[in-house]
Chains A and B, each alone.
Chain A
């Protein structure tokens, strides 16, 4: 089944084309990676899919539903969740609050029902707590559940961000450089962790990553972006041997 599909999405900022005609196809349950040198437009692709930017042209489909041009919060409610390249937690708030907030989009009580604490609201609040604590336990942060999120070490902040994204009940998870700044041990754990959550939460995963060990280790397929243009697509083996990719990463040879 097709999960996420983009058709020739293009993003222009003024005269600069950040991403040109990017077409993507991800099936349910796949782990797909997007790689490319710095400034290739990878995060711009994420921003278009999650509604932060509206593509200059092209269309985006989630499970064959056209989601182009919706606001980010709508898109999240359709089932796309993301993390950020430069971690964007709610810094002053506790680990628990960070995850609870991501439940808010599914709330059914209105604010008056919430203020007067109707039983209906209390039940929802209790369910949110149970679900959040479960998720926090799952990512191994139960011991710091009441700590301020900005006080956590880097690796734990990354995991908290993933837990927060999972709390929105996504069908596809977009991870923006999840292994950035991690040591080899943490990276190895993360690779395992991504596979596990994919199976556990019945997810599809689309990630941007520089760390080749992670990318080659878990991706089913890889897209390569350079200067906003898709230069290659294929399974890890094909990508590793693709001359264009090697060229993009190592630079053009002298006599070219």
Chain B
């Protein structure tokens, strides 16, 4: 019980420290670097939410890009100023109430998350009866349907043209603030009785059901919560980049998030966070592969797409040779850190309360 108090105090200190660092980062980092940091935080949110569904509950869902699209479009359409909306919708006017409404960022984000969760709830009813690869294809299919719908609803989403001039509201405080909230919610959820039920479903559905766990209820719960955070992540992403279109939300986006959770370890929260940072930063760091580099006297021609080849090879390597990723389903907890720091031998980590 004492340990729990220490943990809370320690966590609060860590969070305060993080935001002090962010304050200075915001002051001194250039746009490019702070954008990468923003992406790290957003991919953390997306990775955690996909890991809840795939890693902890064992449902192999590939629908994340669709949920992100819902969040991104909702947030963008609600936060864009009216003149920008008019500029965007020159082909056909935006449907009415939306063309006159401008909401602040936070409620827009939350509504984006809620709509994504609502769609997940509707989709979940038929889809979550499926297992394994059938579920994967069906969720991928739904994510594509969402994209097809968004391409065709000219007056709602501006179709294939996408939306431009979305206010760049997302900054380090927003992205890291929400990432920290997501992280805390996930930790609390996973270590609750509901989290244990999710893991039971992952381990053995038949045994879980025979131990009284309502499979459908818990699967849809995990799926909906995951979609909620995917929607929020999508909203943050749209208002970071400033422009979105349906092509952005192809299955490639889902694959990138999948790569994060596979590398981090399916079923590890800390693994996901670490991996989200590694993947996002290296995706930027390897950008030179795609672009030409001018060395003054001669230019190395970049090969567009080479970067993604590297990442697809990485995904293959991890799954073929290090199937557990960085962390497997283990966690770095404050207890372990404290033990490491004080060089005490690792006790069989006290009953989690």
Contacts and interface: CB of A to CB of B under 8 A. Distances in A.
A72 interface: yes
Contact of B188 (A109, A117, A124): A117
Interface stretch (B32-40, B212-220, B245-253): B212-220
Give the residue among B189, B210, B348 with the most A Cβ atoms within 10 A. Answer: B210
Interface stretch (B83-91, B135-143, B190-198): B190-198
Contact of B211 (A76, A92, A111, A124): A76
Contact of A52 (B199, B210, B211, B225): B210
A92 B193 contact: no
Contacts of A103: 193
A228 to B, nearest CB: 22
A104 B197 contact: yes
Contact of A146 (B192, B215, B348): B348
B163 interface: no
A84 B210 CA distance: 10
B277 to A, nearest CB: 25
Contacts of B210: 50, 52, 72-73, 76, 81-82, 84
Interface stretch (A94-102, A201-209, A214-222, A229-237): A94-102
Interface residues of B, number: 29
B336 to A, nearest CB: 14
A77 B196 CA distance: 18
B133 interface: no
A134 B316 CA distance: 46
B206 interface: yes
A101 B194 contact: no
Given A111-B221, A114-B193, A93 B199 contact: yes
Nearest to A72: B209
A88 B188 contact: no
B318 interface: no
Q: Of A84, A96, A102, A129, which is in contact with the most chain B CB atoms at under 10 Å from its CB?
A: A102
B188 A164 contact: no
A21 interface: no
B156 interface: no
Contact of B200 (A84, A101, A114, A124): A101
A96 B191 CA distance: 13
A92 B225 CA distance: 24
Contacts of B212: 73, 76-77, 102, 104-106, 168
Contacts of A146: 348-349, 351
Contacts of A97: 196, 199
Nearest to A82: B210
B351 A129 contact: yes
B344 interface: no
A132 to B, nearest CB: 10
Interface in B99-128: none
Given A111-B221, A115-B188, A104 B209 contact: no
14 contacts: A71-B214, A77-B212, A81-B210, A84-B210, A88-B204, A89-B204, A90-B204, A91-B203, A101-B197, A104-B193, A114-B194, A125-B192, A128-B193, A146-B351
Interface of A: 50, 52, 71-73, 76-77, 81-82, 84, 88-93, 96-97, 100-107, 109, 111, 114-117, 121, 124-126, 128-129, 146, 164-165, 168
Given A72-B210, A101-B200, A111-B221, 8 more contacts: A71-B214, A73-B209, A76-B211, A76-B212, A89-B204, A100-B196, A114-B189, A168-B212
In the A-B complex, the 8 residue pairs with the closest CB atoms: A105-B212, A76-B212, A90-B203, A88-B207, A114-B192, A72-B209, A101-B200, A102-B211
